[in-house]
Amino acid sequence: MQGLPQNAQYAVDEYGRPFVIIRDQGKRTRLHGLEALKSHIRAARTVSNIVKTSLGPRGLDKIMISPDGDITVTNDGATIMGQMQVEHEIAKLLVELSKSQDDEIGDGTTGVVVLAGALLESASALLDRGIHPIKIADGFDRACAVAVAELDRIGDVIPYSREETGELLKVAQTSMGSKIVSKAHDLFAKIAVDAVLSVADLDRKDVPFDLIKVSGKVGGSLEDTTLIRGVLLDKDMSHPQMPRSITDAKLAILTCPFEPPRPKTKHKLDITSVEEFKKLQEYEMEKFQTMIRQVKDTGANLVICQWGFDDEANHLLMQNDLPAVRWVGGPEIELIAIATNGRIVPRFEDLSAAKLGHAGVVREVSFGTTRDKMLVIEDCANSKAVTVFVRGSNKMIVDEAKRALHDALCVVRNLVRDNRVVYGGGAAEIACSIAIANEADKVASIEQYAMRAFATALDAVPLALAENSGLAPIETLAEVKSRQVTEGNSRLGVDCLGKGDSNVADMKDQLVVDPLLSKRAQLLLATQLARLVLRIDDCIIQGQADEY
């Protein structure tokens, strides 16, 4: 056929319809050196622009559609980045960057991606001017050190204790200002602060997150969300005639099933007569009764079992006044053991009174129009374990509320670790930008250009906040910068919610604060990623021959 490419051939399918085969069409053209670096920066900028519109209290939501057709509506940066299907290698690095911020800090996942994209965009302009990537990377490193020192200078210390939690509440409310739970952020902030302080060791400044379980159930409204000082199980008693409430509960926590031992070989047992069947039935009954006696002898009055048991065992448990809960998952089993100071027992022979868990009350609660039942274990021996029970009108609301609560819990945890804060609304970024620009004037080497580019990149955060709030971004940024310099007030930022007369407001008065740990981690992680990308000049796929 005329007009076909040289590496193509003409063919027909089984119905005689023609099509064109182009060989090696899956291979991409290899880029080297500066061209490859520019390609990497473009990929990072594309991903950064996707999440930029979700930054701030007026940020927009994204609809994430899974391959199965499930829909997630969120503006949480970590969720958006985690569910995006990205193919480019540098885009995958940005996804890992967001995940690192989420794992280490838990908040600021959108801001760190926006900042990394802005840094690489600023670096692109310097590359066009002929500045070597290594010089740019060194300049970024120097500017980041100045920014971190400026954060330490402008940071404020917020006092708190188990009794005085007002300042912690303000920071938790800020973290949820852009979330779907903002209409109930007072309740969620109080729950987050109470949950963290319940499990925190303030002397060691340590918060064991594994003692906080967040559980959700569709039904009710966000205002029905509650904090339970104990463990909540999405289970009920195994038999409908078992008691619904047990006081002074002694829990036998088992990972062995209530069933007779089975041969661990491939042999089978043939029963050919009624007598043999009755003998087998008696053997099973004897085993069941032995197991129940072993549990009762320890003084236990409630069995928590990881596995199920059949109707016969269930009936015997009920007859012997031994309430039981079956099919309890592994993480819940561990949490119950921690909360009640009990031991997880793998065999009935290992049961003893010393290994039982203790709780003041174990009760079955029902809620909602469908009267769903759940089990609450309260007044545990180790009172530190808590459960947050999130309610919402549908699954999407519950999931987003759980993500928002996770951010708030992480923010409060960070303040327990380090109770220094900086002010939001872009105030901290603008203060750092001004400090870096002043420092760059004192640098005689070519790194001063990279430092000024870093300062310009920091402006991307207040610009995005202003743009997402419907303000004129350039004019708002210029006004905030001018007033910060003339008034010497590093707390001035973008008034996203429009509470004041102008677009600029004192973020301390508006109670918009961020943990210093979170802001510092954003700067360090974004700078390290920018350095990493600037040092990459080629991308080689394993097993693929180079084309020359």
Residues identified as active-site: 76, 109-110, 407
Q: For 105-184, where are the alpha helices, taking DSSP H only? A: 109-128, 133-154, 166-175
Structural tokens at position 515: 């943990």
Nearest-Å Rg of the Cα atoms of the chain is: 30
Name residues whose C-beta falls within 8 Å of residue 359's C-beta, 6 or more positions apart in sequence. Answer: 230, 249, 251, 339, 340, 377, 378, 379, 380, 381
Burial class of residue 515 in the structure, from the number of CB atoms within 10 Å of its CB (0-12 exposed, 13-18 middle, 19+ buried): buried
Burial of 48 (0-12, 13-18, 19+ CB in 10 A): buried
Backbone angles phi, psi at 112, to 5 degrees: -70, -35
Tokens of 256: 């062995």
Which structure tokens are listed for 487? 């008034």
Dihedrals φ, ψ of 30, to 5°? -75, 130
Contacts of 166 (CB under 8 A, 6+ apart): none
Q: Which residues contact 398 (CB under 8 A, 6 or more apart)?
A: 216, 217, 218, 390, 391, 392
Q: How many CA atoms lie within 13 A of 183 on its CB side?
A: 7
In angstroms, rounded to a whole number, what is the distance separating the alpha carbons of residues 31 and 35? 6
At residue 499's C-alpha, the angle toward residues 495 and 500, to 5°, is: 80
Alpha carbon distance, N-terminus to C-terminus of the chain: 29
Instruction: Look up residue 503 and give its DSSP letter.
Output: S
Rounded to an integer, what distance in angstroms lies between the CA atom of residue 96 and that of residue 52?
A: 17
Q: What letter represents residue 189's amino acid?
A: A
Four-CA torsion 303, 308, 311, 314, nearest 10 degrees: 0
Among 212, 216, 246, smallest CA distance to 323 is for 246
Task: Give SS3 for 21.
Answer: strand
| Residue closest to 416 by CA, chosen among 204, 210, 227 | 204
